Amino acid sequence: MKLKGIGFILLFAVISLSFILLNKPSKLGEPQSVNVKDLVQKAENRLKGNSSIATMKISIVRPRYTRDMTMKAWSKGDDYSLMYIMSPARDKGTTYLKRKKEIWYYLPSVERNIKMPPSMMSQSWMGTDMSNDDLVRRTSMVNDFSHKLLGSESVDGRDCYKIQLTPKESAEVVWGKIEIWVDKKLYNIMKQKSYDEDMELVNTMNASKVKNMGGKEIATVMEILPADKPNQKTVMTYETLQFDVEIPEYYFTTQYMTKVKP
């Protein structure tokens, strides 16, 4: 009877230990049930709706000068977007169009629609610290990357998930990897670090000034800091933002690029 009692105690201990191991948090302090891909999907959708219309101010800050631009953008789902430069006067009318995986741009000075080759996606957009890919989001954080939860960190006073994105072999991606910090409550991306194929840091994006726009609490200011140029940055500020608005199909055609009416 005594041996049986010891055996029962050992069995109970094994069952208890198994229960603890199966239900304990990961080493990173996060529940193992966190669906990382779902988090990335929510973060990527945060500034989207079925459609959206936005106006933005972009400030290019350099050691000797600051240059401002204003832009209006229309988007529909993941596949279609149109961006129109409203100022300064010398750039007014420059237009960018995304149609699925195709990127087009229109330059008023030459009055031509030009299809952007993939080799240009990593290049600077209009002298800013953003790449062409950053602007038009040709790649998808959800579909073109594998996802790994790295832990939790506070960003701008907000508790965030830190997630690593590694490009899939089949994806046409300009980055070697990306790290994002996603607000646990609102799913805004509050910080992003982008690395090249050699895993060298290229730039850091810091988001701030969360407020209601279009019925969503979003970060309205994004500051992009290039890693190799500490004295310069690009700041993008949302001035207006509407979600789920009616946008005619013809907006997302190359024909309309030459006659956009903001």
Residue 136: predicted pLDDT: 64
Q: Which residues contact 83 (CB under 8 A, 6 or more apart)?
A: 71, 72, 73, 95, 96, 97, 135, 136
For the chain, residues with pLDDT lower than 50 are 1-31
Tokens encoding 116: 């952007």
Identify the pLDDT of residue 137. Answer: 63
Output the pTM of the full model: 0.79
Domain spans, the chain: 1-29, 36-259
Q: What is the pLDDT of residue 44?
A: 87
The whole-number pLDDT of residue 11 equals 35
What is the structure's pLDDT at 228? 92
pLDDT at 195: 95
Q: Could you say which of 3.40.50.410, 2.50.20.10, 1.10.220.10, 3.40.50.720 is the CATH number of the domain covering 36-259? A: 2.50.20.10
Inter-residue contact 136 to 103 (CB < 8 Å): yes
